[in-house]
Chains A and B, each alone.
Chain A
Amino acid sequence: MPKPANLSAKKPVGAQPENPAQLIVDGAVVENEWNLLPLGSDEEISARSLAPGKVILPLSVWLALREDLQGRKDEIGVWLDSDETADLIGEYAAELPLIAANFPAFTDGRGFTAARLLRQRYGFKGELRAVGNFIRDQLTYLKRCGFNSFAFQGEQPLQGLLASMQDFTDSYQTAVDQPLPIYRRRALA
C-alpha cells in the first residue's frame, strides 16, 4: 500500500505557500483579502484564538475546528497540500467560500486533479485558488481544471501574466470549462 495522505499533526513541514498582497481572480488583478495560515506554527490554534477576518486554514486545522467555526462560515477557507486529496474535504466543499491547492513545486501536478474533483464531484462553487510554486505557463491548464484564482509567489507584475491565460483558446478534452470533448463536438457537426 502506498502511504495514504498523511494527515497527522506530525506531517513534515516543507516550504509553505505564500500569501501575496495581490493576485489574479477571474482574469483581473485584485487585492488579496484572505490571510493564508501556513502549517506548523507552534501555537495551538483554536476557534477562539483565530484572528477575525478572512482566513485560509490548513486542512488538518480546518478539519479540527470546522464544527466550532460554523458561525464564521463565510470567512473560513481551507487549503490542501499536494498530498491531500479532494475527498478529504468531500461534500463539505459546497459550503466553503474558498479552497486553495498548494503546488510545492510546479511539477507536482496533484493539485490539478484536486481542483477538478472539487468542482465536478464535490460541487464546489467558491473561489478556487492556486497557491505555491505554479508558473504562468500552467495558467490555461489550471483554469481548465477549475481554478479561478492565482496567488503567484513573490512580487510579480501580474498584469503582464494575464496574457498567458489565453495561451490556448480551445481544447480537445472535456474539463471544468468544457462540457464536451472535441470528438463529441465534431461528431455533432
Chain B
Amino acid sequence: MYRYDEQDHKLIRERVAQFRGQTERYLAGELSEEEFLPLRLQNGLYVQRLAPMLRIAVPYGLMNSTQVRRLAHITRKYDKGYAHFTTRQNVQLNWPNLEDVPDILAELAEVEMHAVQTSGNCIRNTTTDQFAGVARDELVDPRPYCELIRQWSTFHPEFAFLPRKFKIAVCGAEEDRAAIRAHDIGVQIVKNDQGETGFQVFVGGGLGRTPIIGVAIRDFLPETHLLSYLEAIVRVYNQLGRRDNKFKARIKILVKAMGAEEFARRVEAEWEQIKDGAEQLTPEAIEWSKRFFPEPAYKTFSEGHGEAVLRDRAGEDKAFARWLERNTFPHRVDGYQAVTLSTKPTGIPPGDVTDRQLEAIAELADKYSFGEVRVTHEQNVVLADVEQEQLFDLWQEARKHGFATPNIGTLTDMICCPGGDYCSLANAKSIPVAEAIQRKFDDLDYLYDLGDLDLNISGCMNACGHHHIGHIGILGVDKKGEEFYQVQLGGSANEKASLGKVLGPSFSRDEMPETIGKILDVFVENRQPEEFFIDTYNRIGLQPFKERVYAKAS
C-alpha cells in the first residue's frame, strides 16, 4: 500500500487549505456559483437533489483499515451514518453540508486520503483489478503503475481543465476485471517475446450518451514510456477535443471523428518529442513504486493443505459451501484465498454500507487480511489475502454484519447507480428496480444455476451504473414525465467487451421483474450445458428474447 511521505502530506494539506479558502470565498459571495463549480467538482463535491454529495478518492480501490475506520467516523459525524461504494472504486457520501466539507477533507488528509479529482474535467482516479497482486492469471501487478499514474495525474497543471472528465484504467491480468475498454484510456500490461514488460494502450472507450468500446492504438509500449505516452494522448486531446458541446467533448468522439489511425499518428508524433524526457520511468522509479506493494508476510502452507480443510467444512455446511463457491477467488499463493464481501443483500441499495459495517470491514481486514481492503467496480469489497484455514471464521463474522450474501457474480450482485432517489439527473429510480429483481430471484439454487451474469442498472443515459456493458442492462428513461425502463442485452466489460443492444420498447417499473424472468427463461431453454448467459446470447442473438418478451398473450 502506498504510504505518504512528507511531500504528499504537504500537497494534500495545501489542497485542503486552498479549498477551505475557496469555500469561504464562495459562502461570502466573493466567488460566483459558476467559478466555484469546477473548483468544488475537482474536490469531489456535487450539489445533488437532496444535499451535496462528496466523492472521496480511493486510489485504485485500495484502503487500509485505519482509513476505513476514518470513513466510518466521517459518515457518523458529518453524514447520516452510511456511505456508498461506486463503480469507480471510490466512496460517496450523500448528505454532507457544504460548510463541513473542508473539515471532512482535513480529517481525510490525516489518514492519507482526499477527494482530489474525483469529479470535474480532469484526470480522475485511476482504477484497476480488485484482485491485483493476488490473481493467478496476472502477468504483472498493476498497482505500482497505478500509483505512478496517480502521481503524474494529480494536480497536473496542464490537464486540470480538459474538455471533459478523463478516466484511465489499468489491467495486469489475462481476464480484464477493470473494464479497461470502457475507459478514455485503457492500459493492458503485456510481455513481449523477450519477456519485457510493456503496455497495450486502448483509447476512446466510454459509456454515457454515446457508448464506445476503446480501440488499441499501440500494442507494445515499453515500460519506461508509460507516462510520456499518456501525456501525449492527453495533450492531443486537450488541444483538439471539442469544447463547443459537452456531449461531444469526450476523447471517444475525437478518436471516432478523426479515425483511430490518424489519432494514433498524432499521438505518436507528440510522443516522439517527449519520450526521452524527464517523464521517463527509470528502473529506479519503478522499483521505488513497487516497494509500496510488497508481498505480505504470507505463511508457508503445503500445497493442498488449506483446500482439504475447506472441503471438509464445506461438506458439513451447505451455506458455507455456497459462500465459498461464489464469494471467494483463487489466490496465487498456496493456502490463501481472496474474499468478496457482498454489499448486495436484498433490499439494500447496492454499494451502500453503514458506519458500523465500515468498522466491521476494518476489523475483518485487520484480523484476516493484513489490514487492507479493496473496493471493486461492482461496488463490493474485497479482502485479498485470507488464509484458507480462516475462511470459515471470517464467513461467520461477515454473516453477522450482513456481508456474506453468497451472490457474487450472479444476477442479484447487480451494479446500480443511485438513480432518482438521490441523483438530480435521473430519469427514473434505479434502486427500487434492483430491489424488485432481487426479491423475485431470491432462490439461490436458481441463481447458481443461471451462473455468472452481469445485470447493470442506470437511472439515465449517463450510465453511472454501466448498463451498456451489462449482460443485461437496464436504463431508466423518461416518457412524458413518467418513469420507464429500457432493456439492453449482450453487453460485456471484460477483454471481449461489447455494448448491449436495445431489446425493444421500454417497460414500466412493475413489469421489470417479469420481463427479466422471461429473458432468463429464454436463456435457460436455449443454453447448452454450463453455458453462461452472454455466450448463449452471442450464439442465438437478440431475436428469441425479443419474441418472448413482446409476445402477445394468447
- A interface residue numbers (CB < 8 A to B): 1-2, 85, 106-110, 112-113, 116, 121, 135, 137-138, 140-142, 144-145, 167-175, 179-184, 186-188
18 CB < 8 A contacts A-B: A1-B258, A1-B262, A2-B240, A2-B257, A107-B38, A109-B161, A109-B163, A112-B238, A113-B238, A116-B158, A142-B157, A170-B7, A172-B154, A183-B151, A183-B289, A184-B280, A186-B7, A187-B288
Is A169 touching B235 in the complex (CB atoms < 8 A)?
no
Known contacts: A137-B22, A183-B285. The answer to whether A168 contacts B155 by CB under 8 A is: yes
Verify if B152 is at the interface (C-beta below 8 Å from A).
yes
Is A109 touching B238 in the complex (CB atoms < 8 A)?
yes
Is B254 touching A183 in the complex (CB atoms < 8 A)?
no
The distance in angstroms between the C-alpha atoms of A170 and B12, with both chains bound, is: 10
**Which residues of chain A have C-beta atoms less than 8 A from B157's C-beta?**
112, 140-142, 144-145, 171, 173, 175
**Which residues of chain A have C-beta atoms less than 8 A from B160's C-beta?**
109, 112, 138, 141
Is B5 touching A186 in the complex (CB atoms < 8 A)?
yes
Is A184 touching B282 in the complex (CB atoms < 8 A)?
yes
Min Cβ gap B104→A in Å is 20
Q: Is the interface of A mostly helix, strand, loop or mixed?
A: loop
Given A180-B278, A181-B152, A187-B288, 5 extra CB contacts under 8 A: A1-B262, A107-B161, A141-B157, A168-B18, A175-B157
Is B257 touching A112 in the complex (CB atoms < 8 A)?
no
Q: Could you give, for residues 312-324 of chain B, a 1 whenever the CB lies within 8 Å of some chain A CB and a 0 otherwise?
A: 0000000000000
Give the contacting residue for B238; candidates A106, A110, A180; CB below 8 A: A110
Query: Would you list which residues of chain B between 7 and 27 have a CB under 8 Å from chain A?
Result: 7, 10-11, 14-15, 17-18, 22
Query: Would you list which residues of chain B between 251 and 304 have a CB under 8 Å from chain A?
Result: 254, 257-258, 262, 273, 277-282, 284-285, 287-289
B259 — nearest CB in chain A belongs to which residue?
A: A1
How many chain B residues touch A (Cβ–Cβ < 8 Å)? 50
Is A168 touching B14 in the complex (CB atoms < 8 A)?
yes
**Which residues of chain B have C-beta atoms less than 8 A from A2's C-beta?**
240, 242, 254, 257-258
**Which residues of chain B have C-beta atoms less than 8 A from A171's C-beta?**
11, 155, 157
Q: Is the interface of B mostly helix, strand, loop or mixed?
A: helix
Verify if B243 is at the interface (C-beta below 8 Å from A).
yes
The distance in angstroms between the C-alpha atoms of A184 and B22, with both chains bound, is: 32
**Which residues of chain A have C-beta atoms less than 8 A from B243's C-beta?**
108, 110
Is B287 touching A187 in the complex (CB atoms < 8 A)?
yes
Known contacts: A171-B155, A172-B154. The answer to whether A179 contacts B161 by CB under 8 A is: no
Is B158 touching A175 in the complex (CB atoms < 8 A)?
yes
Is A172 touching B238 in the complex (CB atoms < 8 A)?
no
Is A184 touching B121 in the complex (CB atoms < 8 A)?
no
**Which residues of chain B have C-beta atoms less than 8 A from A138's C-beta?**
160-161
Is B121 touching A107 in the complex (CB atoms < 8 A)?
yes
Min Cβ gap A135→B in Å is 6
A108 — nearest CB in chain B belongs to which residue?
A: B243
**Which residues of chain A have C-beta atoms less than 8 A from B158's C-beta?**
109, 112-113, 116, 141, 145, 175
**Which residues of chain B have C-beta atoms less than 8 A from A137's C-beta?**
18, 22, 35, 39
User: What 10 A-B pairs have minimum CB-CB distances, sorted nearest first?
Assistant: A109-B161, A144-B157, A141-B157, A187-B284, A187-B288, A174-B278, A172-B151, A112-B158, A183-B285, A187-B285
Verify if B159 is at the interface (C-beta below 8 Å from A).
yes
Min Cβ gap B122→A in Å is 9
Verify if B148 is at the interface (C-beta below 8 Å from A).
yes
Min Cβ gap B170→A in Å is 16
Is A172 touching B152 in the complex (CB atoms < 8 A)?
yes
A175 — nearest CB in chain B belongs to which residue?
A: B157
Min Cβ gap B166→A in Å is 11
**Which residues of chain A have C-beta atoms less than 8 A from B5's C-beta?**
186
The distance in angstroms between the C-alpha atoms of A112 and B285, with both chains bound, is: 27
**Which residues of chain B have C-beta atoms less than 8 A from A144's C-beta?**
157
Verify if B156 is at the interface (C-beta below 8 Å from A).
yes
Verify if B162 is at the interface (C-beta below 8 Å from A).
yes
The distance in angstroms between the C-alpha atoms of A113 and B154, with both chains bound, is: 16
A178 — nearest CB in chain B belongs to which residue?
A: B278
**Which residues of chain A have C-beta atoms less than 8 A from B262's C-beta?**
1
